[in-house]
Amino acid sequence: MEEDLILSKNVLTEDEIIRNYSGQALAYIGDSIFDLLIKDFFVRKTSMQTEKYHKVVTGIVKAVNQAALIDELIEENLLTDIEVDVYKRGRNSSVHTKAKNATMGEYKKATGFEAVLGYNYMKGERERLDFFVERALNKAGYL
């Protein structure tokens, strides 16, 4: 896929992102980017009915799996210092909802993970986004 189709042409500096966007805003865009990149992988690599795509993709992007993935990334020290800070901002932001099949702790961790994705998206870090997607696909057994 053309990189320009996924990444905004208006990439921002680290300082601009931290100054201008809340953890919730970064998580909001990160959630969409993660979902899109996982969907992109399956549509390009497989041929399924849309119901099957939906089942597979939602199984990967659900909060409980995002929480487990971010735990591994932190344990393996695979986040940059700024990503850890962004994760904590997202995780600790005021959350008023909860995922259907996740604890509040898992949901907050997933929100932090999505904030990291949003941060990397706003920064134009496609390689970093691909790294997180590959980790998620590998963890789910698709790579």
Give the Cα separation of 28 and 23 in Å (integer).
9
Alpha carbon 7 to chain centroid, angstroms:
14
pLDDT value at residue 143: 87
pLDDT value at residue 89: 95
Q: Supply the pTM of this predicted model.
A: 0.90
pLDDT value at residue 101: 85
Chunk the chain into consecutive blocks of 10 residues (it has 143) and report each block's average pLDDT, rounded to whole numbers. Answer: 56 88 95 97 94 95 97 98 96 76 92 97 95 97 92
Instruction: Tell me which residues are annotated as active site.
Output: 31
Q: What interhelical angle do 126-139 and 63-75 show, nearest 10? A: 110
Q: Does domain 21-139 have CATH number 1.10.1520.10?
A: yes
